[in-house]
Amino acid sequence: MNLHVRLEAAKNALNTLIRQPVATFMTVFALAIVLALPVGLFAALNNLQQLLGHWQDQAQISLFLHQEASAAQIQNLQTLLERGTGVVSVRYVGKAAALTEFEHTAGMTAAIQTLGENPLPASFVVELNPLAQSPSSLQTLVAYWGRQPGVASAQSDLGWVARLQAILSLGQRAVWILTGLLAVGVILVMGNTIRLHIAQRRDEIDVESLVGATRAFIRRPFLYQGLFQGAVAGLLAWMIVAITVWALQGPVERLAELYGTRFHLLGLSSGQGLVLIAASALLGWLGSRLAVGRHLDHTFS
């Protein structure tokens, strides 16, 4: 019996929304735009992190070896480096290769030839994902590598990694704050919408209360209205973000090609989209419950 009552209330709520298509569409679309803003910013941050994850060569560590480093020490060190957290690639540069690269880069072939011998040490070049660890953890890892047998010195410039992660952390916090504010906005908009529905049915609600209808019975259709409108608004917000990503995909790919790389924008996954719909439905339900609760407190007082 309880299930039948709930289904009937849901049906009545849906019919009420369908009978007012313009008002329902305006409310739902306004909520969708409000929801799409923080969701779009979250997607932008995710894409930025993905893009920065491709810049491993920018987080580069050079480990210079002692001249007398043995083959066993070099092999053990390479194994250790490859197992490091966030390590993308490890490249060994022998003395001859280092000399060739230096001559090609600096154009000092004649000056080096006057030395009569190769002054450059062998080294390992380690490329890291700048977002895999915190800057302090990266510094600790580099210091640990620098103490290994056969290593003369370690060279790195991880200051930009700290700045990068601080900027991303600031952006994430700003998005969370904006999300909280807009969630309150969604609740207020939905509450105001439900109050209008309550005003239209005030006489009906008064009659129901006089004949003994419970608070739950009166409240249920309005809660379903908020739930349905919130869910549809979440779905529309998901579509807005997807359309935006699709519209930007071409220009982003062309820009990436100009920099000699490839990049594909990411939208919301299916799981993230379902979470968005569920969260927006919950916000709609909460706004409706607050609005109906205040009216019922006045009616039954």
Lowest-pLDDT choice from 9-18, 179-188, 213-222, 248-257: 213-222
Distance CA 183, CA 282 (A): 10
What values do phi and psi take at 62, rounded to 5? -115, 125
Residue with tokens 């799981």: 271
Average pLDDT, the chain: 80
The pLDDT of residue 1 is above 70: no
Asked whether 88 and 61 are in contact (CB, 8 A), the reply is no
Give the residue, 115 or 244, on which the prediction is more confident. 244
Per-residue pLDDT reduced to its tens digit, 43-74: 888 887 777 655 545 678 888 898 888 888 88
The pLDDT tens digits of the residues spanning 100-143 come to 766 565 555 555 555 556 667 888 888 887 777 777 888 888 88
79-93 tens-digit pLDDT: 888 888 888 888 888
The average pLDDT across 280-292 equals 87
User: Token pair of 90, please?
Assistant: 């490890």
Q: How far apart are CA 87 and CA 192, in angstroms?
A: 53
Please name each of the domains of the chain with its CATH number.
Answer: 1-53+163-299 (no CATH), 59-128 (3.30.70.3040)
DSSP tag of 57: G
Q: Which of 19, 103, 69 is nearest to 11 (CA)?
A: 19
What's the farthest any 2 CA atoms get from each other in the chain? Answer: 108
Local structure of 29: helix, strand or coil: helix
What is the pLDDT at residue 281? Answer: 92
What would the pLDDT profile of 207-239 be if each residue is shown by its tens digit?
A: 666 666 666 677 788 888 888 999 999 999 999
